[in-house]
Amino acid sequence: MTVTGQSIIAGVPTSGTAGTFRAVDPSTDEPIGPEVKALTIDELRAATTAAAGAFPDYRATAPQDRARFLETVAEQIEAIGDELPETAAAESGLPTARVQGERTRTCGQLRVFAGVVRQGDHLGVRVDPAQPQREPLPRPDLRMRQVPIGPVAVFGASNFPLAFSTAGGDTASALAAGCPVVVKGHNAHPGTAELVGRAVARAAELSGMPAGVFSLVFGIGNEIGAALVTDPAIQGVGFTGSRGGGLALVAQAAKRPQPIPVYAEMSSVNPVVVLPGALEGDRSGLATGYVTSLTNGSGQFCTNPGLLFLPSGASGDRFLDAVGEAVRTCSGQTMLTPQIRAHFDERASFLASAPAVATVATGTVGQAANAPAPAVFATELDDFVAEEGLAEEVFGAAGLVVRYPDVESLATVLGGLEGQLTATIHGTDSDLDDARVIVPVLETRAGRILWGGWPTGVEVSEAMVHGGPYPATSDPRSTSVGTLAIERWQRPVCYQDLPAALLPDAVRDENPWQLVRRVDGTLQLP
């Protein structure tokens, strides 16, 4: 395939007329790939109109057909071959092996959602049979299922050009729910987006889906995103990115004549709590694990452990020494974009010059462009609370270690943290009493609580929560990774006394889709 710089509107490659831009290889700062022809807002409307037009047919597809479509998307992405990881690596600065792994995850994720669609538990079917003899009033026949909310806008993420972008988690879960998707391609990886977008469009064609079920649109500036979110056809938004970007979309969605839900996964410092017992064991392994998680992918994970709480005292000091040693061996890796690198530099300088913050160690600047030196800083709990800005995310490979005098003070500070995607505890059996104090506090602050590991690495599974209280996300009642993510794109509908001839298959007495159903208050397996 050759990347053309075109949007894909309901299957049709489309050259926009609003100007052009080009991708940049962040490891060289050189432009790469063709000129991307940005759409005007009028041109964008063709995509949302097609999505609205496709919705009635797409939402009515049988589970088997919709699942096959998702699987075909995965097959078509795999069929692109090496061009995909090569393009993604060039546009993102991420190592090819990492991008290959991300492709595996992306395709696996699509197949997981195909399985979800086939199983159908997300339809949440409930049947309350009529009770015509009930006194004082008969009970009608009531049946509930979840229905898709309508066309969804997805914003590609810079840090996961495959797994959180064109055919990533938001797109896969929305398509699985029965919602057409319009993806706003991320301008940092337009070639990657186009390759994947064409694969999705081809899969729709091969699977007999309405063409409007998927579009990929390119634009310049924030106007095109705002136009997408405020388009009357769009009924929900998925976003992974900065807090500023996410909150702008939330505000736009709220100001619509008909407000719509926005699922923005925004920012998190992912606190790690080291309890005293953890320092009695393999301190150096713990330090290496921390620095590896912190610097992995140039620290550009939503779940990067930006904040580590460490007991004051000699054991903590020795751990910090080991951390310093590990950091000094680290070389900078190319960041996703020059802008992201500039922002990292700014935040790292802020920490380096903050009065109550000491620099534990820095690594070396990488040889390629935009590869700043990793760094670890340290401060005391009181200063962390008193000084403005220390709890804010540094997007990149820089961490702040906060020394705490006792678990009670720590628990108070943890309870005052902003909402987080994850919170991690390192401890041993001797720390369980302290942990019992801390876990309930962390439950109110984070979507996922880990013991003894590191938060980077997010499993796509049934029990995963990649979400959390504001501002980690704009809507803590959900997750953007894992099978529960499909529920974001649904709403319940109840059918009262409908004749069998009008009932949707999901709620018919014969249970043709073999669904788990709650009948008269009791779950029944098919």
Site for its own copies in 53-72 (CB under 8 A): 56, 60
Task: Please list every residue from 224 through 283 that binds its own copies, using CB under 8 A.
Answer: 250, 254, 258-259, 261
- Of residues 367 and 444, the one with the C-beta less far from its own copies: 444
Name the segment binding its own copies (CB under 8 A); options: 74-82, 200-208, 209-217, 447-455: 447-455
Per-position DSSP letters for 360-416, written without gaps between them: EEE-B--SSTT-PPPEEEEEEHHHHHHSTTTTS---SSEEEEEEES-HHHHHHHHHT
Q: Is 95 in the site for its own copies (CB under 8 A)?
A: no
Report residue 421: phi and psi, to 5°.
-70, -40
Q: Which of 64, 444, 512, 514 binds its own copies (CB under 8 A)?
A: 444
The verdict on whether 330 is a catalytic residue reads no
Distance CA 317, CA 118 (A): 54
Closest CA to 155 of 47, 45, 262, 78: 262
User: Which residues, including other chains, have CB under 8 Å from residue 412's CB and lie 6 or more apart?
Assistant: none
- HSE at residue 476, side-chain half, CA atoms within 13 A, is 17
Name the segment binding its own copies (CB under 8 A); options: 33-41, 73-81, 114-122, 348-356: 114-122
Task: Please list every residue from 406 through 435 that binds its own copies, using CB under 8 A.
Answer: 418-419, 429, 432, 435
Q: Is 436 in the site for its own copies (CB under 8 A)?
A: yes
Size of the site for its own copies (CB under 8 A): 77
- Of residues 387 and 418, the one with the C-beta less far from its own copies: 418
Distance CA 327, CA 294 (A): 10
The DSSP output letter for 473 is: B
Q: Which of 43, 265, 330, 393 is catalytic?
A: 265
Nearest approach, Cβ of residue 15 and its own copies (Å): 33
Nearest approach, Cβ of residue 112 and its own copies (Å): 9
Q: Which of 87, 171, 252, 478 binds its own copies (CB under 8 A)?
A: 478
Name the segment binding its own copies (CB under 8 A); options: 215-223, 324-332, 346-354, 463-471: 463-471
Distance CA 297, CA 371 (A): 11
Distance CA 272, CA 291 (A): 12
Closest CA to 69 of 200, 211, 216, 163: 200
Closest CA to 411 of 386, 393, 433: 433
Task: Please list every residue from 134 through 163 that binds its own copies, using CB under 8 A.
Answer: 137, 139-140, 142-144, 147, 149-150
Which runs of consecutive H residues, i.e. helices, occur in 256-308? 283-295
Q: Is 48 in the site for its own copies (CB under 8 A)?
A: no
- Of residues 356 and 494, the one with the C-beta less far from its own copies: 494
Nearest approach, Cβ of residue 450 and its own copies (Å): 4
The DSSP output letter for 331 is: B
Q: Which of 220, 354, 358, 516 binds its own copies (CB under 8 A)?
A: 516
The verdict on whether 107 is a catalytic residue reads no
Nearest approach, Cβ of residue 179 and its own copies (Å): 12
Catalytic residue positions?
A: 265, 302
